[in-house]
Amino acid sequence: MAEYKNIQTTLEDGVFTLTLAREHKRNAIDEQTMDELLDALQHFSTGEETIMAVLQARGKDFSAGADLDWMRNTQQMEVEAIQQQNMKLHNVFQLWYDLPVFTVANLTGNVVGGAIGLAAASDLVIAHPVAKFRFSEVSLGLIPAIIAPFVLKRTQSRFVKNAMLTAIPFTAQQAYESRLVDWVADEASAPEILNKYREALQNNEPYAVGAAKKLINDLQDNRIQGPMDVYTTRLLAEVRKSEAASKRISQFFKSVKSNHENK
pLDDT tens readout for residues 140-176: 999 999 999 999 999 989 999 999 999 999 999 999 9
User: What are the pLDDT digits (tens) for 176-233?
Assistant: 999 999 999 999 999 999 999 999 999 999 999 999 999 999 999 999 989 999 999 9
User: The domain 7-200: what is its CATH number?
Assistant: 3.90.226.10
- What is the spatial distance between Cα 253 and Cα 263, in angstroms, rounded to a whole number? 16
- According to the model, what pLDDT value does residue 242 have? 87
Please list the residues that pair with 126 across neighbouring strands: 106, 183
User: What are the pLDDT digits (tens) for 4-62?
Assistant: 999 999 999 999 999 999 999 999 999 999 999 999 999 997 766 899 999 999 999 99
Q: How confident is the model at residue 263 (pLDDT cuts 50, 70, 90)?
A: low
- Assign 22 to helix, strand or coil: coil
Closest CA to 18 of 58, 47, 46: 58
0.75 surpassed by pTM? yes
- According to the model, what pLDDT value does residue 45 have? 79
- What is the spatial distance between Cα 9 and Cα 45, in angstroms, rounded to a whole number? 12
- According to the model, what pLDDT value does residue 1 have? 65
Strands across the sheet containing 170-171: 110-112, 132-134, 170-171
Q: What is the mean pLDDT of residues 241-257?
A: 80
- According to the model, what pLDDT value does residue 247 have? 83
In contact, 134 and 99? CB cutoff 8 Å: no
Q: How confident is the model at residue 248 (pLDDT cuts 50, 70, 90)?
A: confident
In contact, 110 and 132? CB cutoff 8 Å: yes
The answer, yes or no, to whether residue 245 has pLDDT greater than 90, is no
CA trace torsion 165, 166, 169, 175 (10° rounding): -40
- What is the spatial distance between Cα 215 and Cα 232, in angstroms, rounded to a whole number? 8
User: What are the pLDDT digits (tens) for 97-123?
Assistant: 999 999 999 999 999 999 999 999 999
